[in-house]
Chains A and B, each alone.
Chain A
Amino acid sequence: MTVLDFAHVTKIYNVRGAGQMKALDDVSFTLQSGRTIGLVGQSGSGKSTIAKILTQLERPTSGDVLLDGAPIPQRGQALRRYRQQLRMVFQDPFASLNPYHSIRYHIERPLRLDGVVPAAQTEAEVRRLLERVRLDPQTVIDRRPHELSGGQRQRVAIARALASRPKILVADEPVSMLDVSIRLGVLNLLADLQREEGLGVLYITHDLATARHFSDEIIVLNQGRIVEQGTADDVILRPQDPYTRELRAASPDPEKHFAAQSPTGGLR
């Protein structure tokens, strides 16, 4: 059981000419393997900052991030090992894949760099990973990203993230740039993989509906502060915080809309 502890993290940026900006204010949560936390927030809420801190692109101004009780290393081999454990899937399936290289190259790289399997087994492992994300290796392995659809590209990104056998997966708006009809497919894939690999998943999104269905627990961020935290159903169906209530009221909900319109469920 792996545990990621985000403990009382505060992040302050110094902006020249405008003083200080607090991106995160005393944010704490715990992510365990096998569980999904939905991190819900609008732009400016700080959710991207959390992703950056987890992937060590930024350091917290104060507070700790602990993986299995140990603080995240700052440099060297230890940092590399940490990075193997925590992988990220990005929002834009086109931008996160290098258009110059083949799919094989994309998935081979983490395998080679992290020495996950012996060199002789690399090709087999690449194919295995592609099958895990429900892509046909034969068709896809030699293609370049622009020859695949958005959904396929995102699956490749997921395969790449899984290559180093991480314990934690950070998914930053993984489906918001995909076509509507394939979004659930990709989310279901993530859910399956999580179950099979026992991953802890941090699902960052602005969309409450998918957060509710995909997460066990939901954290609502508003301007760098956690305003609500609880099980998915509790937060969405019985929100306590006024901001969460506002978010819920603002999200399109045809079910509620039509029920309110015509209680008889018939004519307008």
Chain B
Amino acid sequence: MTAVQPQLTEPIEPGRDALDVGTTATRAVHGRSRVPWRFLGSRALFYLFTLWAAITINFFLPRMMKGDAVTQYLARNRNVSPEAADALRALLGLDTDKSLLQQYLDYWSHLLRGDLGVSLLHGLRPVTEVISQALPWTIGLVGFATIVSFTIGTVGGAVIGWRRGSRLDALIPITTFLSTIPYFWLGLLAIAVFSVNLRWFPIGKAYGVGVRPEWSLEFIGQVIHHGTLPALTIVIASLGGWMLGMRNMMLTVLDEDYITVAQAKGMPNSRVLWRYAARNAVLPQIQSFALSIGFIVGGTIVMEMVFSYPGIGKLLLDATNAKDYALMQGVFLVITISVLVANILADVAYAFLDPRTRQTEA
């Protein structure tokens, strides 16, 4: 009632509804595009800055670690020529006869050419190659599992929230309990029951031993077969969070006036549930989901260890143990970029889904 709504300094157009004047946003409607360019633009700038900062930190990381990895490597592999050793040092940025600034610029020029260096651990193969072999497995499996978990959790949460007080409520403590079980235990249990005893699923790996990856139906079948158990355990472990979050949002939204209005209008329950309640309640869920996408790439290292799955998590762990700086840097970079991308997606999704963000400045 006494909210301050300042007056626009432009003169009032004749014929306009005099009662509108002096109140909020009466101009913005005409000729306004549906895409919130200004909002997205300012976010994009922010993300570019964050990316630059992340890459710069990435640059400094190995330089802050002790020990010269190259010497250790050379100690183990004697057949590397001095020139190659120099090149390696340059790649890893342990080249002390260049100034820091020069190293930094070199780093950027390498980066922009897609050259992330070579991996000491993997026989000097380019880091990009090593990562790109592992990445699809992680993204594929964990990404798929996350999407499934999110969908079931959100839809389930919406229904449970709608039927407040019914027996469905029991699903919440059940699923949250499942998510508190230590994942490795869940994974091992699944293997013990389904792989060893029932022999329904293979024990581990992404595909059969000795099989070469190819785009054939049989291979895809193998991938699915091998991937079922890991995916299933991930879904079971993460379902509770999504369900709880959605249900709680639903309860908040269902108390809002516009739900009562919708029911008073004689809307059938399904319409009120999905188009009025869930549509509003899902907004924070979408943000959580987009953020969790970023963490997919970080990889579920535990899952990869339990199921011997050839993903990024294991790659990073091995690289860290072997002090394979180039590979570590490469993986960090990939994780950073994907988290940023995920954030951008979250913002974009929110901007499109919630019309109120388009109007107000971020």
A interface, CB within 8 angstroms of B: 13, 15-23, 42-49, 52, 91, 172-173, 176, 204, 206, 223-224
List B residues 1-26 near A (Cβ within 8 Å): 1-10, 21-23
Residue of B nearest to A225 (CB): B7
Most buried by A among B4, B5, B23: B4
- With contacts A16-B361, A17-B361 taken as known, whether A23 is within 8 angstroms of B22 at the C-beta atoms is no
Does the CB pair A23–B9 fall under 8 Å? no
Q: Quick one: given A17-B38, A19-B9, are A173 and B22 in contact (CB under 8 Å)?
A: no
Query: Closest CB-CB distance, A174 to chain B, in whole Å?
Result: 11
Q: Which chain B residue shows the least CB distance to A246?
A: B18
From known contacts A18-B8, A21-B8, infer whether A44 and B1 are also in contact, taking CB-CB under 8 Å: no
Taken together as a complex, chains A and B put the C-alpha atoms of A172 and B361 apart, in Å, by 29
* Cross-chain contact B361 with A22 (CB below 8 angstroms): no
* Cβ-defined contact, A172 with B2, below 8 A: yes
What are 10 pairs between A and B in contact, CB < 8 Å? A18-B8, A21-B7, A42-B22, A44-B7, A45-B22, A48-B4, A91-B1, A91-B2, A172-B2, A224-B7
**Closest A residue by C-beta to B6:** A21
Complex Cα–Cα for A206 and B3 (A) = 12
How long is the Cα–Cα vector from A52 to B4 in the complex, in angstroms?
A: 10
Contact-residue size bin, chain B (C-beta under 8 Å from the other chain): 10 to 19
With A19-B10, A224-B7 given, name 12 new contacts (CB 8 A). A21-B6, A21-B7, A22-B7, A23-B7, A42-B22, A44-B23, A46-B7, A49-B6, A172-B2, A173-B1, A173-B2, A224-B6
Which residues of the partner chain B approach A45 to less than 8 Å between Cβ atoms?
22
Which residues of B sit under 8 angstroms from A16, Cβ to Cβ? 361
| Residue in contact with A43 in the complex, picked from B1, B8, B10, B361, CB distance below 8 Å | B1
Residue of B nearest to A16 (CB): B361
What residue in chain B is nearest A172 (Cβ atoms)? B2
* Top 4 A-B residue pairs of the complex, sorted by shortest distance between their CB atoms: A21-B6, A44-B22, A44-B5, A23-B6
Please, how many angstroms separate the alpha-carbon atoms of A234 and B2 in the complex?
25
Interfacial chain A residues near B22, Cβ < 8 Å? 42-45, 223
A211 to chain B, nearest CB (A): 14
Q: Find the A residue at minimum CB distance from B21.
A: A223
Chain B residue nearest to A173 (CB atoms) is B2
Closest chain-B Cβ to A218's Cβ sits at a distance in Å of 17
When chains A and B are docked, how far (Å) is the Cα of A23 from the Cα of B5? Answer: 8
What separation, in Å, do the CA atoms of A107 and B10 have in the docked complex?
46
Q: Give the distance in Å from the alpha carbon of A48 to the alpha carbon of B22 in the complex.
A: 14
How long is the Cα–Cα vector from A206 to B21 in the complex, in angstroms? 17
- Residues in A neighbouring B3, C-beta threshold 8 A: 43, 48
Chain A residue, CB-CB nearest to B38: A17
> Please, which residues of chain A bring their CB within 8 A of the CB of B38?
17
Contact at B6–A13, with CB atoms within 8 Å?
Answer: yes
Task: Give Cα A16–Cα B360 distance, bound, in whole angstroms.
Answer: 9
| Residues from chain A with Cβ under 8 Å of B5 in the complex | 43-44
Name the A residues within 8 Å of B6 (CB-CB): 13, 15, 21-23, 44, 46, 49, 224
- CB–CB A20/B9 < 8 A: yes
Complex alpha-carbon distance, A233 and B38, angstroms: 51
Question: Which of the listed residues A46, A173, A206 has the most CB atoms from chain B within 10 Å of its own CB?
Answer: A46
Q: Which residue of A lies closest to B22 (CB)?
A: A44
Task: Enumerate chain B residues within 8 angstroms of A223, measured Cβ to Cβ.
Answer: 7, 21-22
The residue among A15, A21, A204 with the most chain B CB atoms within 10 A of its own CB is A21
Interfacial residues of chain B within 184-229, with CB under 8 A of chain A in the complex: none
